[in-house]
Structure formats: structure tokens, C-alpha cells
A and B are shown apart, each in its own frame.
Chain A
Amino acid sequence: SQTIHQWPATLVQPVGSPLSLECTVEGTSNPNLYWYRQAAGRGLQLLFYSVGIGQISSEVPQNLSASRPQDRQFILSSKKLLLSDSGFYLCAWSSGGELFFGEGSRLTVL
């Protein structure tokens, strides 16, 4: 069966520091991959999606970037974090249109 993992689960970083969140999917090949953010409150905002290696689409301009170096690996990065980057980051993959989420990474920028 397919599984999705992301790490770290919790991260506290100072303003201006870099960020790297990693997500991997197992049990499937060539999945569509997604990064969402959930800020204070409860809405989920799509940040990036990828339909294949090296193919990244951005939904909103921001301080973040994404990369897909391998088929089942999706990385969210920042060179310099802002206070507004704090939030809950969720990686997801889709199969036949149905979306499945990882456990999430909670980022606090101080």
C-alpha cells in the first residue's frame, strides 16, 4: 500500500534562517505531489504542485521554493525565513484524483 512521510514533524527556527522540509511517498510511481500550508486559523492554501521530476508549479508568490529531485521525493525550502512563514505544512500525493496527506510539519519562526 502507499504511504507518505514528511519530516521534521516540528521545527522552531529564527528569522532569516534556511528551511528544508522533506516528503517521500512509497508504494507508487510518478505521483502528483503537493505542498499545502495551514496558517493560524484553519484554511489550507496550496503552495506548490509537481506532476513529475523537476516539474514544479507555484500557486502563490512567496518566500518559499520547492524541488522534486526524485520521483517520490518533494522538498520545500527557503533561503531566509520570515515570521509570516510560520504554520503547519502538509505534503500530499494524489491517485486518480483523490488526495492523501502526510502527517504535517509544524514550523514556528521566532
Chain B
Amino acid sequence: GIQVEQSPPDLILQEGANSTLRCNFSDSVNNLQWFHQNPWGQLINLFYIPSGTKQNGRLSATTVATERYSLLYISSSQTTDSGVYFCAVPYSGGGADGLTFGKGTHLIIQP
């Protein structure tokens, strides 16, 4: 099946810093999502981005489908950005059988 690799696995930054999280996947996809899991375990949808670039406030994401990677940018980090960031792609082309997840990037923003 398709493999999803995220880097770095852990990242510790000071408040106000910028960061780039990477997601590589092993096969062509027609869907890619970024999630943020907060300290209470809730998975929050950040971006649905099969290709191109999207921005939402301090966060933006870029997916280059032809090169099989996606990047999540966080600017001017705040302590509330702490948590685990996951990217996920479909198990198969149709997508009805769900998404497979990377192992995540654990981000800690220190005040």
C-alpha cells in the first residue's frame, strides 16, 4: 500500500518562529489532508489540498502531486499551535476506503 512519511518527527520552537513540516508519499494521490491533533486528542482539519497552495491565516500548505510531497507552513508560531500534525492520503484511488496517515510531527511551541 501507499506509504506516508512525515518529517521532522519532533520540533521544538520558540513562540514567534516559523516552521515547515514535510509529507512525502509513495504513489500518486488525488487527495491529501493536513490535520492538527490538539492536546485533548481532537483532530482538526487544516487543509484539504490534493494539489496547489492554500492559505488560512498563519498557516499555508502546498502540495506538489507530481513530485509526491506536501508542505505545511506555520508562521509566527503561538503556543496554541502545539500538538501533532498529520498528513493523510487515500488508501486507494477511490478514497471510499479511508485515508492512511503518516506518523505525524510533534510540535512544541515554547513561550
User: How many whole Å from A54's CB to the nearest CB in chain B?
Assistant: 16
Tell me whether chain A's interface is mostly helix, strand or loop, or mixed.
strand
Size range of the chain A interface in the assembly: 20 to 34
A32 to B90, CA, bound (A): 13
Chain A residue nearest to B97 (CB atoms) is A49
- Chain B interface SS verdict (over half): strand
Q: Closest CB of chain B to A19's CB: distance in Å?
A: 18
Instruction: Determine the chain B residues whose CB is within 8 A of the CB of A44 once the complex forms.
Output: 86, 88, 101
Q: B106 — nearest CB in chain A belongs to which residue?
A: A42
Say yes or no for A90: interface residue by CB 8 A criterion: yes
- Point out residues on B near A: beta carbons under 8 Å: 30-31, 33, 35, 37, 41-43, 45, 48, 84, 86, 88, 90-91, 95-101, 103-104, 106
